[in-house]
Amino acid sequence: MPIYTPPLRDMQFVMHEVLKVSQDLAALPRYAEADAETLNAVLEAAGQFAAEVVLPLNPVGDREGCQLDPVTHEVTTPTGFKAAYAQYVAGGWPALSCDPAYGGQGLPLVLNQCLYEMLNAANQAWTMYPGLTHGAYAALHAHGTEAQKQTYLPRMTSGQWTGTMCLTEPHCGTDLGLMRTKAEPVEGGEAGSYRITGNKIFISAGEHDMAENIVHLVLARLPNAPVGIKGVSLFIVPKFLVNADGTLGARNPVYCGGLEHKMGINGNATAQIVLDGAIGTLVGQPHKGMQAMFVMMNAARLGVGNQSLGLTEVAYQNALAYAKERLQMRALTGAKAKDLPADPIIVHPDVRRMLLTAKAYAEGGRALAMFCTVLLDKAHYHPDDQVRRDSDDMLSLLTPITKAFLTDNGYQSATLCQQVLGGHGYIKDWGMEQFVRDARINMIYEGTNAIQGLDLLGRKVLGNNGATLKKFGKLVAALVEQEGVNEQMAEFINPMAALGDQVSKLTLELGFKALANPNEVGAAAVDYLRVAGHLVLGYFWARMAQVALQQIAAGSTDPFYAAKLQTARFYFAKLFPETASCMRTIRAGSRSLMDTDLALA
């Protein structure tokens, strides 16, 4: 069975030494008591739960999958999943960062991010059951009526009920304006009550036996709704109807019509959901469903990036352990383990390349993910209006990067770590091939990574003439100003500063090209996101190197800091230069893609 050690030391390094989150949290009255000692204690307990309770179930879930009873439409989750969820609820973990007004503990979101990184590393399929509930909770918290909040949020906060998002239909995925699910007012029923009819597919955690009720958030069309995305409304459709006193009532006709047979995440029930006149209540204003659903979708996009972050870390840990023990050939510079018949494969340069790629993407991605959750808290709770707006703007820029860059890197890292194991990486007993299969979905759902690229370049950058990108550029410029004359930082600062200038020029070029030919944006989007992703990760790696150098200069002999510098050097030397090839392909334009009718005939 795969191993996993929660990366508490690295989490604490990013949280306390690099981002200094306590300083940001101190400005938010709701987190006045969230000191470093409290944060560390929660991290330790979360890591213990992930490693001891959830990790052992990962191969079980992959092997058994979920079982659907075609008569009752009930789904049974793999052995141990339900019991682990009961422990999760008993430990108060669902309530960690939820609003105290609805029974939450009110702790900072950065703690929830760390909890879920560790849970995803231990078992992504299991983690998706409680994980999706957070997005549904956020959408209802932002757009639900007070009555809806009082009915649903306390039970979602406690983990008594779970949530889903029901968007995709058999004929439409990303283009939700094509959806056909309809909502008709209930004659003689309560105001805002509708009968929902339609079919949804690919609904993660759409049916299961782990909680007593499932709260589906469903997109559907009202009668005479405008055509396209402007005619979509959002509805709460619970598995069991809820009585006025909060108890469960009759079974709602929303059920699982089938389970998808998938490449990975087999322990999660990816359901085909049939709505056969199910009772639902409107969330927010008619025809404004996407506004409410985007709260959940953005939370999910950050969550999916976190899923791949967890998989990157656990794949790296297992590949590293294998590389230290597997004997194969001798080092090119001569035998290293002279008392053994061969050297451990970790002596070979290309094995180190693969290991360091995963390590660099895990540690850099962790800094980005934590930074985003701090922004989210500041956007919601900072007393200064301008800080809230700036934080929200920055988060909107970083969300597609977090989703796409971290998931691309996660799949690449899992594949490289599988390669480290050689033939054993292809064998189920080692667990590595499951990481590869599980990681693949993360590049697809919650908006494919190409869609994230279009969102970043088209909406978040060109859509406001680069204003938000310039805000991130100010962070880069401030670090360059601070460390530009420090020779020890030159290998980190110089390439980052150069790329910042190059991205500014490239963005201007693309803006002019797009005016003449919109296909230029589509052709450039994926590569542009890779470039932007490296600019962002380069910034965080430079900050981590800065802290490591400061600690060493202050006399620290902790090998953690020397290791951090070595990883930073690898990142800038071997991974960061990807930006050059991406910028070259961006400048090649769209013609070689679009002038291909004969090639694709």
- The amino acid occupying position 164 is T
Token pair listed for 525: 């989007």
- The amino acid occupying position 550 is Q
Q: Counting runs of H as helices and runs of E as strands, what totals does the chain give?
A: 18, 11
Query: Does 446 participate in catalysis according to the annotation?
Result: yes
- Cα torsion 350, 355, 360, 361 to 10°: value is 110
d(CA 354, CA 263): 24
d(CA 331, CA 351): 11
61-85 per-residue burial string, b: 16 or more CB within 10 A, e: under 16: bbebbbebeeeebebbbbebbeebb
Token pair listed for 45: 């307990």
CA distances from 588 to 151, 518, 524 (A): 55, 15, 9
Token pair listed for 479: 């670090």
d(CA 432, CA 311): 10
Task: State the Rg of the chain over Cα.
Answer: 24
Catalytic residue among 207, 363, 446, 520: 446
Token pair listed for 337: 């383990």
Opening angle at CA 13, ends 10 and 19, nearest 5 = 125
d(CA 375, CA 498): 26
d(CA 273, CA 248): 20
Residue with tokens 């996660």: 410
- H helix intervals, 34-108: 36-49, 58-64, 81-90
The dihedral region occupied by 138, where left means phi > 0, alpha psi between -120 and 50, and beta the remainder, is: alpha
Contact 126, 93 (CB under 8 A): no
The catalytic residues are: 446
